[in-house]
Structure 1
Amino acid sequence: DIKMPYKQLHVRNLKLSDAGIYTCEYSSHKVRTSLHVFQLTISLDGHFLQNEVPELILMQNSPSHLPDLSITLFDSNSNRVTPELRNKSPQKYIMNLKKLEATDSGTWVCQVHSDSPLINQNISFAVKVLGFQNPDLERKYAAVDSTVILSWRLNFQKIKWKEGFTGQLNWKQQEGANTHELFDFNVTAQGHLHETKKSSNFLFEIPGRKPESTIEVKLPRVHFNHSGQYQCQLEYQGRHTQSKIELVVMKVSANPAGPLSRGANMTLTCQVSGLLPPNAYLRWERVNGTKMDIKNSKQHEVKLEVNIGAAGLWSCHLIEDNDRKISLHYHVEEAAVWINYVIIGASVGGGLLAFALGCLCITTGINWRRRRQRAKRMAQARQHLLENKTCQCQQ
């Protein structure tokens, strides 16, 4: 299009083949302009999943020699990004960007520079990264019988993602164990989320009320064997990305259970369901106790035992980076005084009863032996009478 009255030439839908020398003739005047054309292409039409690496192709065409270009990239947060140059020719530059995060969505800038001829050109391009606002791996601690809600915050509404995608929530107790699908979900192009429960052997709920663009699972009464990895996975056009939450469950117990008698001992045990990171450990301590009432676990220990001989409130803490992540309490009751007296009395009474039974047995044995001897003498007397070995006086 030629715009009057300034004699401007507008070239629409510019292509590489449009590069060249353009001459404007007016009367006896001629003005020549050299047009250098750049074409920037990003893979997958700029739609990526978290942790994917985009490919960027910059092509150039010019009526003169093609200059050696210096390329600098700036992400959506105006941070400088150094691309990996995979292939280079005078006309084409093929680069790999960094591994994308969910926060990288937005407008990026490719800055092209040349000294001869002098070129300073900024080319903007859009990047959309579908993913999680959670870290790739998160650890969460819970006490046995407590209520736990695990959440994954998706960014599809924040970045105005206009394509439908699917996903699922899986659980496995440990690496190498079988994976159980808890539920799957799909998000329409209009941004509507639909969830479908799959597992019936696992006690969990899908909360009805939750923050927007959030995937949640609720464990109303967590068991020790509910620990493990909960993985939320997104799928778009056959590609996948995921975010994991590792649930670590803690419990405390006593052996023997029940009140602590005077002079007796008890073992308190604090245990977690999985390995702890190197900067985490367990600690037993007696509330309002002394330093002697504190015991810490060693690195990588998942069970901590403490032998006690005093009643009181004992607490087990899981400490990570000097921060108490979770605490469980165990109240050790002292047996009442009358119970101790009953125990002592029962012991003494039992001893006396045993002694009395022993005496009774001895007396009974003696009497039984005497009766047996008497019966034996009478039998002998009868025998003598029958044999007429004795005389009887006549009355």
Structure 2
Amino acid sequence: MESSGTALSCMPAAFLLLHLGLISSMVHQNEFQTGLVGGDVTLNCTGILPDSQLPRDSVVSWKYSDTLLWRMEKDRRVWRRPTFITGRSDIKMQYKQLKLWNLNLSDAGIYTCEYGTHKVRTSLHIVKLTISSDGHFLQNEAPELNLTQNSPSPLPNLSITLFDNNNKRVTPELQSKSRQEYIVNLKKLETMDSGTWVCQVHSDSPLINQDISFAVKVLGFQNPVLERKYATVDSTVILSWRLNSQKIKWNKGFTGRLNWKKQESAKSHELLDFNVTAQGQLHETKKSNDLFFEIPESKPESSIEVKLPKVHFNHSGQYQCQLEYKGRHAQSKIELVVMKVSANPAGPLSRGANVTLTCQVSGPLAPGAFLRWERVNGTKMDTKNSKQREVKLEVNISAAGLWSCHLIEDSDKKISFHYRVEEASVWINNVIIGASIGGSLLAFALGCLCITSGVSWQRRRQRAKRMAQARQHLLENKTCQCQHRLKK
């Protein structure tokens, strides 16, 4: 009795297990997958046998929602492609995988693979990332990123993390946010920001960890935004702006111009304009004769250069190179500072006299910069400094020699102008001494001539007296040379 009771009690349990097994075999298998707009994705028909092992009477189909996409029955394959994936889908036959490419936001939805009583439902989530200006920027422009998502289920709350071209994390400014669209602003870009950036998209439910790469190209100058160049009057100067278009492979055309003005508030003069083709060829056109300059024939690739063969003091000022691309502008300036030196009075320095040396720069100078006069191989007493940022320095001197004016910035001599002061007193004294000696020698020669002329003894005596007087005169003038000859 106990054994039959046990057997009867097991029957309902066995029936329940069988029933549960039948139900489980018909339960749908759910999967989740993320795709990117413009990219591709492969949806799996999970659990299906390889094509070579499937029975010949197997029926396999793919559906989008309730729309039939593809069906295979008794080795007969039928496509029912709706227009939204025409030309953008295919079946990988071995495992009946559905491949989609060139994805759109509208491709999001439920894709179902059916074979026998088995169904695999894949929820396809689509994300679209766009960057303003198609990723092409000029210096100091701030890009805008737009992240949009589409899903058949409720839209998840996404978190966005950005990494720059050096894989350093960047904190963007969130401009607006909704479950469907996120807009963020980046910092102002510099030329060194060119490269591949990564946008990391994350969600906990459903689990999304998607890295989206995008290219950033920043067209601009490899020079600093503001650069100072120093020159002395009559020297040769070359001003150069190096573009990075070849380095970043900027395959789009752009234009630009070079302007000069004496100072910030002065009228601007266009010196030249240029254009660069998508193939990187540079064409320049000279526009102005207000300033004498040359365009060097030989120069580094992707460089704008002008040559000033003989700098004048009024050539100083701001030289601004400006790029133009699709109505946007980027610029770089070179501030040319010119130094000149003068003396008052000009010419050789007489003994006991003074001269004023003046050193002047066209300015303005950088903070902390100053001028210095010093005598080469002189003492500290021969040195004079200006106040900071003064553009003119005078020094009164009484010593001849080589004097130098320096423009010093951050303990660095940016430029020096050497001026030699000649000694005038040496030449003047030689003239005076020479005249004195010449007159005495002339008197001595006349006396000697008279002695040898055969005149009378009386005359000789008189002439001897005059010679004694001449000798006395020579002694008074301390003319050693004449005294030596008289003794002979």
TM-score bracket for this pair, using the shorter chain length = 0.7 to 0.9
CA contact (8 A) 2:368 2:389 kept: no
Identity rate, percent: 82
Cα deviations by residue, 1:331-385 (Å, 9 ceiling, x for unpaired): 1111142415768999xxxxxxxxxxxxxxxxxxxxxxxxxxxxxxxxxxxxxxx
CA contact (8 A) 1:167 1:235 kept: yes
CA contact (8 A) 1:146 1:220 kept: yes
Pairing 1:147-166 to 2, within 5 Å after superposition: 147-166=236-255
Match of 1:122 in 2: 211
The one-letter amino acid of 1:322's match is S
Counterpart-to-counterpart distance in 1, 2:381 and 2:98: 88
1:217 aligns with 2:217: no
Match of 1:82 in 2: 171
SS of the counterpart of 1:205?
Answer: coil
Counterpart-to-counterpart distance in 2, 1:73 and 1:127: 13
Pairing 1:115-264 to 2, within 5 Å after superposition: 115-264=204-353
Counterpart-to-counterpart distance in 1, 2:356 and 2:433: 23
Match of 2:426 in 1: 337
Structure 1 position 290, deviation (Å):
1.4
CA contact (8 A) 1:262 1:340 kept: no
SS of the counterpart of 2:314?
Answer: helix
SS of the counterpart of 1:36?
Answer: strand
The one-letter amino acid of 1:38's match is V
Counterpart-to-counterpart distance in 1, 2:409 and 2:364: 13
Pairing 1:1-150 to 2, within 5 Å after superposition: 1-150=90-239
CA contact (8 A) 2:349 2:423 kept: yes
Counterpart-to-counterpart distance in 2, 1:172 and 1:345: 58
SS of the counterpart of 2:212?
Answer: strand
The one-letter amino acid of 2:403's match is W
TM-score, normalised to structure 1, is 0.84
Counterpart-to-counterpart distance in 1, 2:147 and 2:257: 37
Structure 1 position 266, deviation (Å):
1.2
Which one has the largest radius of gyration?
2
Counterpart-to-counterpart distance in 2, 1:30 and 1:303: 89
Q: Which has the bigger relative contact order, CA under 8 A and spacing at least 6?
A: 1
Pairing 1:300-311 to 2, within 5 Å after superposition: 300-311=389-400
Q: Which moved more, 1:106-115 or 1:135-144?
A: 106-115
Match of 2:407 in 1: 318
Match of 2:363 in 1: 274
The one-letter amino acid of 1:2's match is I
Cα deviations by residue, 1:229-258 (Å, 9 ceiling, x for unpaired): 001111112221111111000111111111
CA contact (8 A) 1:261 1:334 kept: yes
TM-score, normalised to structure 2, is 0.68
Structure 1 position 88, deviation (Å):
0.8
CA contact (8 A) 2:349 2:425 kept: no
CA contact (8 A) 2:199 2:213 kept: yes
Counterpart-to-counterpart distance in 2, 1:343 and 1:41: 92
Structure 1 position 96, deviation (Å):
1.1
The one-letter amino acid of 1:127's match is V
SS of the counterpart of 1:175?
Answer: coil
CA contact (8 A) 1:261 1:340 kept: no
Cα deviations by residue, 1:277-332 (Å, 9 ceiling, x for unpaired): 11211111111111222111111200111111111111111111111111111111
SS of the counterpart of 1:45?
Answer: helix
Cα deviations by residue, 1:40-88 (Å, 9 ceiling, x for unpaired): 0111111111111111100112222222222111222222221111111
Counterpart-to-counterpart distance in 2, 1:199 and 1:125: 43
The one-letter amino acid of 2:307's match is K
Counterpart-to-counterpart distance in 1, 2:219 and 2:394: 46
Counterpart-to-counterpart distance in 2, 1:343 and 1:53: 79
CA contact (8 A) 1:22 1:34 kept: yes
SS of the counterpart of 2:134?
Answer: helix
Cα deviations by residue, 1:98-133 (Å, 9 ceiling, x for unpaired): 111122222111111222322211101112211111
Counterpart-to-counterpart distance in 1, 2:204 and 2:341: 71
The one-letter amino acid of 1:46's match is G
CA contact (8 A) 2:407 2:415 kept: yes
Match of 1:287 in 2: 376
The one-letter amino acid of 1:15's match is N
The one-letter amino acid of 1:133's match is Q
The one-letter amino acid of 1:149's match is I
Counterpart-to-counterpart distance in 1, 2:97 and 2:342: 86
Cα deviations by residue, 1:171-221 (Å, 9 ceiling, x for unpaired): 000011010011111111221111111112310000000011100000000
Structure 1 residues 205 and 122: CA distance shift in structure 2, 3 A: same
The one-letter amino acid of 2:295's match is I
